[in-house]
Structure 1
Amino acid sequence: MLSLVVLISGGGSNLRALLEACDDAEYPARVVAVGADRDAEGFEHAERYGIPTFSVALSSYPDRETWGDELLRQIEQWHPDLVVLSGFMKLLPPRVIAALSPTLINTHPAYLPEFPGAHGVRDALAAGVAQTGASIIVVDNGVDAGPIVAQRRVPVLPGDTEASLHERIKPVERELLVRTVLDVANGAIDLAALARD
């Protein structure tokens, strides 16, 4: 059974999809804790399933490194097999990534390496592309630059706004995340091998 710590910053729709998947006795993973960099709305999903939560606010620490050390301490006390960044909007310090990699994955609402960064959906619209997508990556020290674990295309439709396009990407992102965790749990995806390539 794969144990997961999920880090969020907002509403936690990907977290909810994972919790629903983990509620199936046949699904070979369990969320053991949910963390955030603020008092995130998504904590209510964790609370509904009786999952412990923790919050480590960057503003409470003198610098990013000290914040990262406390975040890492909070994560490591749960001894997770996999850490999932799911809408977590802070860049992790290098030593946190070094401690957790390669079992540290991130969801992103674009078909990487296209449109990395915090505004992937907006950037895709601004570029006038016919399609974008969703991706799962192994986190490295770049911005959405790590090895790609899974991805799928999503068409950009005439009249799409950032909100409407993002709403169509989200279910694809959720499906990819649930499938990726399943594939890591059953050995179909080897994150260490991906990180070495």
Structure 2
Amino acid sequence: MTGLAPVNLAVFASGTGSNLQRLLDLSRLDELGGGKVVLVVSDKPGCRALERAEAAGVATFAFYPKAYPDKPAYEREILDRLREHRIDWIVLAGYMRLVGEVLLQAYGGRIINLHPSLLPNFPGKDAIGQALAAGVSRTGVTVHFVDEGMDTGPAIAQEAVPVDPGDDADSLAVKIHAVEHRLLPEVVRALCRGEVWLENGLVHWRPQASGGRGICGAGVLGRQDQERSRGECAGH
């Protein structure tokens, strides 16, 4: 990426930050299509994700939501930090709060989220537990653009994960995390290279960028293809 300005990324996380760590590692190796993780934001001061960021020498901002009168108040402070670091894209990787109007207005179409299911199936918390309770034969991973709803934004990429007989929450989580650690960087890399974008509520890929792979494989695909494939891969 010699001669080109880096694409500045902020990663939001609330927990252990295993997906954050993957992005930090690739950022350090210059393997995110020009993307650089320059800020980590968390609503859980003291969480492992913040420790990972600090160990990597990346700036952090942690806040207690209850210390603010409302969501707009703390999002305005987050926005100040994003502007300070000239953030181009926000990546939600285990961030357990809905993004509000302040950030959506400032970064609409530039916020993505990682979710451990084949959306629209099993949105919200404990998607792995929801999948097990439903008895489906497969679940998966989705990376999607963020809108005002809970896991309702247009999907950028999805990959199915089989639910094997005898799987429990721990064993299924291991399989899902393995896919997350590959799929999220693929999408971030494509975004930083300008290979995928959101326009008029639809996801667009530059020709050849997605490799023609479908949702049932190691898939990256746009929203229209997902509509055709959803019935095949939802698992119920």
- Structure 2 length-normalised TM: 0.79
Task: Sort the Cα spacing of 1:194 and 1:182 in 2 relative to 1 into closer, same or farther, 3 A.
Answer: farther
SS in 2 for 1:187: coil
Residue matched to 1:32: 38
SS in 2 for 1:9: coil
| Rounded Cα–Cα distance in structure 1 between residues aligned with 2:141 and 2:81 | 29
| Rounded Cα–Cα distance in structure 2 between residues aligned with 1:152 and 1:51 | 30
* Aligned partner of 1:78 among 73, 79, 85: 85
**1:113: Cα distance to partner?**
0.9
Q: Answer whether contact 1:147 1:195 (CA < 8 A) is retained.
A: yes
Task: Sort the Cα spacing of 1:163 and 1:71 in 2 relative to 1 into closer, same or farther, 3 A.
Answer: same
| Rounded Cα–Cα distance in structure 1 between residues aligned with 2:133 and 2:83 | 40
The number of aligned residues is: 196
| Rounded Cα–Cα distance in structure 2 between residues aligned with 1:92 and 1:32 | 20
Tell me, which stretches of 5 or more residues in structure 1 are unaligned? none
Residue matched to 2:226: none
Alignment of 1:85-164 (within 5 A): 85-164=92-171
Higher relative contact order, chain-length normalized (CA < 8 Å, sep 6+)? 1
Post-superposition CA distance 1:102-154 (Å, at most 9, x none): 01000000011111101211111111000000010100001100010111000
Q: Answer whether contact 1:130 1:156 (CA < 8 A) is retained.
A: yes
Task: Sort the Cα spacing of 1:26 and 1:122 in 2 relative to 1 into closer, same or farther, 3 A.
Answer: closer
Amino acid corresponding to residue 34 of structure 1 in structure 2? V
Amino acid corresponding to residue 87 of structure 1 in structure 2? G
Larger radius of gyration: 2
Residue matched to 1:22: 27
Q: Which of 51-60 and 63-72 deviates more? A: 63-72
Amino acid corresponding to residue 41 of structure 2 in structure 1? G
The ranges of structure 1 where at least 4 consecutive aligned residues each deviate by more than 3 angstroms after the TM superposition are 194-197
Amino acid corresponding to residue 9 of structure 1 in structure 2? S
| Rounded Cα–Cα distance in structure 2 between residues aligned with 1:156 and 1:183 | 28
**1:93: Cα distance to partner?**
1.5
Post-superposition CA distance 1:40-68 (Å, at most 9, x none): 21112111211011112211111222222
SS in 2 for 1:146: coil
- Structure 1 length-normalised TM: 0.94
Amino acid corresponding to residue 17 of structure 1 in structure 2? R
Amino acid corresponding to residue 2 of structure 1 in structure 2? V
Q: Answer whether contact 1:5 1:34 (CA < 8 A) is retained.
A: yes
